[in-house]
Structure 1
Amino acid sequence: MSLFLEAARGQDTARAPIWIMRQAGRYLSEYRALRARYSFWEMCRTPELAAEVTLQPLRRFDLDAAILFQDIMTPLPPMGVEIDFSPGPVLKEPVRSAQQVRALRVPEGGEIAPFVAEAIRLIRAESPVPLIGFGGAPLTLATYLVQGSGSKDYDEFRQFLRYAPETAHALLDKLTDLSVRYLKVQLQAGAQAVQLFDSWAGLHDARVYREFAKPYNTRIFEALAAFGVPRLYIAVGALHLYGEIKDLPCEVVSVDWRVPLSHVRPLLPGKTLQGNLDPAVLLAPEGVLRAEAERVLREGLGGPHIFNLGHGIMRQTDPERLAQLVAVVREFDRRAHTTPEELSHA
């Protein structure tokens, strides 16, 4: 078994495995060369291109896992949703009425994104490390559907949950069924782990999360349990939600950079922690990068830890900085260091 899969399954490994969110993407010159020739949707929907982009960082860096190149919006068009990117997702018509929600169809697995399954098969044939599939959590997908485009605070969606809760639940129910089918397609094609991105969960208080997110995330993770693969979850800016997140039936929780892992670990008993270097540190000089990475590694002691950023890598990142980060993580022997708790009592 790979180091990544061992840690994801709860093993306190001697070295923290490392992969990077958005490691397949725009900070790499080889990705930009492809992007100059193809639109973003073309790259997502062409298996050979999606596989190539997924594999690009593995040729440069000694990473412990690959992350599928796709977008969380990929499964939505078969529902009848028209999406464009400029550069973020923009809907031709936001979904805000009960009639619009009723009109959304939930396609069968094979209809959703057959190009994703083919890309996964191509990647598995070449990747030396496990492949992580992924999807958007229902609450986050609904955020885009209702708001219609990117927003600073998604005010339209937040009020929608209050003034139309029944419609919101009907929408989330359909998105949950869609997500289960989409992620099952990925696992059947060969993905060895799945991550559920709940990018905008942190906008909400615990009561709203408990009603509009937790039951649907739970349904997804429970539906995937039979595959026996690690299930990963990330909610950004969500420290106030960990009292709810701790109950999700997933093995790994990814933590953003705003709070030390040693503070989070008691809040998430039994979970592997993933994260949580501030992506901006990759823009800093090498000495700062090393010091900050080692700090995160020390904070991750005391239980299973997968090293990652606290969110996606920034487009202006110099790939050489990522190579340096990978080297620092790979040389850090977790058995030779004292846990943060022991240090605090020294």
Structure 2
Amino acid sequence: MSKIDNNFPSLKNDRILKAARGEIPDKLPIWIMRQAGRHLPEFREFREGHSFFEICKNAEYATEVTLMPIRRYDLDASIIFSDILVIPEALGLEVEMRAGIWTLMGYMIEGGGSKTYSKARKWLYAFPKESHQLLNILTNVIIDYLVLQIEHGAQIVQVFDSNAEYLNKDLYKDFCLPYLKRISEEVRSKLRDKKLDEVPMVLFAKGGWYCLEEQADLGYEVIGVDWTVDPKFVRNIFKNKNITLQGNLDPCALYAPIGQLKSMVQKMLEEFGHERYIVNLGHGIYPDAPIDAVHAIIDVVHKYNC
């Protein structure tokens, strides 16, 4: 491993960190899931000359892609370009980047994307012991991976659980919540052992509306919600919790006329309010999302009166 240089320059924008800590920034912070990726024409051009994993593993290439959305948009965070699929590859699986892939256990069992994830869910019922063994292996690696990212300078990290919608509450309590809690607790424990400062942690469980109350007790400073959740509903669940919310504009809203889009964003901001809130989409931005729509969203967010 290369020597770690922790002499980072002072932050010019700490809005997201303030919101995660419960402070009120000068403007509402916004970042967009998958902002460093396929919807940017400059990324598509860059991708023509480099494979996906080549970009992930080359610091110069990853840095270039990480900065692309920051150069184009007035966003409040740069997201380190990487992918969860580096984890199964590190565990010895042969991995190819194809359309429709996202989560770890689902990918490793299904062998690719799926509309039902029936093979992965079958494992939970038919092979619970083996499922827990696999989840423990993945959890251990995820913990080490997050600690390394923080050790190398990441100032906030997000744990994606992108397929919570495919499980019921009983399955989620058994096969997800304990591991999500372990990640939160053991990342912090390892940081303390290394005498490193803790950073805010975000949990985003897409489709996990049915266990938001349980998510509140896992130790994450920020809980992300998808576009199916009403802001007032989720605010009511978290009203007595010191937790920041993140979300939750429908990614398809970006295809609406700009005037209508701005009205939807304004309504979302008013319903979430300005305290303990980070603006984002309710999932990743789509590859053909209009550039002008992203500018419009950011403009409304940063003009919102805190």
TM-score for both structures, normalised by structure 2: 0.89
**C-alpha contact (below 8 Å) 2:258/2:296 kept by paired residues:** yes
| Secondary structure of the structure 2 residue equivalent to 1:84 | coil
Conserved 8 A contact 1:5-1:230: yes
Q: Equivalents in 2 of 1:310, 1:49: separation in Å?
A: 28
Residue 249 (structure 1) aligned to one of 190, 204, 219: 219
1:126 paired residue number: none
Aligned to 2:210: 240
Structure 2 residue aligned with 1:270: 242
- Post-superposition Cα deviations, 1:186-225, rounded to whole Å, max 9, x if no partner, equal 0110000110000012211111111111111111111222
Give structure 1 regions of 4+ aligned residues with deviation exceeding 6 angstroms: none
Q: How many residues align?
A: 285
**8 Å Cα contact 1:236/1:255 also seen in 2:** yes
Q: Aligned with 2:131: secondary structure? A: helix
Cα shift at 1:302: 6.4
1:214 maps to what in 2?
177
Give the deviation of 1:88 after TM superposition. 3.9
CA distance in 1, matches of 2:274, 2:302: 18
Mapping for residues 9-158 of structure 1, pairs under 5 Å: 9-13=21-25, 15-89=27-101, 140-158=103-121
Distance in 2 separating the partners of 1:329 and 1:302: 10
Distance, in Å, in 2 between the alignment partners of 1:302 and 1:47 is: 36
Deviation track 1:155-176 (CA, whole Å, cap 9, x = no partner) reads 0111110110000111111111
Distance, in Å, in 1 between the alignment partners of 2:178 and 2:24 is: 29
* Counterparts of 1:282 and 1:302, CA distance in 2: 22
Contact 1:252–1:272 at 8 Å: present in 2 too? yes
Tell me the distance in 1 between the aligned counterparts of 2:229 and 2:150.
32
Q: Which runs of 5+ in 2 are unaligned?
A: 1-10
Q: Is the 8 A contact 1:19 1:64 kept in 2?
A: yes
Show the counterpart of 2:278: 306
SS in 2 for 1:83: coil
Deviates most, 51-60 or 300-309: 300-309
2:6 paired residue number: none
The corresponding residue for 1:315 is 287
- Could you say which structure has the greater relative contact order, defined with CA pairs below 8 angstroms and 6 or more residues apart? 2
Structure 1 unaligned residues grouped into runs of 5+:
90-135, 335-346
| Distance in 2 (alpha carbons) for counterparts of 1:176 and 1:295 | 38
Distance in 1 (CA, whole Å) between partners of 2:213 and 2:32 is: 26
Q: CA deviation at 1:14?
A: 5.0
Other-structure match for 2:3 = none
**Contact 2:144-2:187 within 8 A present in 1 as well:** no
CA distance in 1, matches of 2:294, 2:258: 10
Instruction: Provide the C-alpha distance between the structure 1 equivalents of 2:58 and 2:100, rounded to a whole number of angstroms.
Output: 19
Q: Distance in 2 between matches of 1:257 and 1:68?
A: 24
- For 1:11, give the aligned amino acid: E
Aligned to 2:129: 166
In the TM superposition, what whole-angstrom CA distance separates every residue of 1:58-92 from its partner, at most 9, and x where no partner exists?
Answer: 01111111111111111221211111122344xxx
Amino acid at match of 1:71: D
Q: What is the aligned partner in structure 2 of residue 282 from structure 1? A: 254
2:186 paired residue among 209, 216, 223: 223
Confirm whether residue 198 of structure 1 aligns to residue 123 of structure 2.
no
* Equivalent position amino acid for 1:157 in 2: A
SS in 2 for 1:219: helix
Q: Is the 8 A contact 2:100 2:114 kept in 1?
A: no
Q: Is 1:253–1:272's contact at 8 Å kept on the other side of the alignment? A: yes
RMSD between aligned residues: 1.5
8 Å contact from structure 2 (residues 28, 274) kept in 1? no
The Cα offsets for residues 111-157 of structure 1, whole Å up to 9 and x where unpaired, read as: xxxxxxxxxxxxxxxxxxxxxxxxx9xxx421211111100010011
1:290-324 alpha-carbon deviations (Å, 9 max, x no partner): 00110110111163100000001111112122111
Q: Give 1:326's aligned residue.
A: 298
CA contact (8 A) 1:206 1:244 kept: no
State how far apart, in whole Å, the 2-side matches of 1:14 and 1:239 are.
30
Deviates more, 1:185-194 or 1:41-50: 41-50
- For 2:96, what is the secondary structure of its paired residue? strand
Equivalent AA in structure 2 for residue 286 of structure 1: I
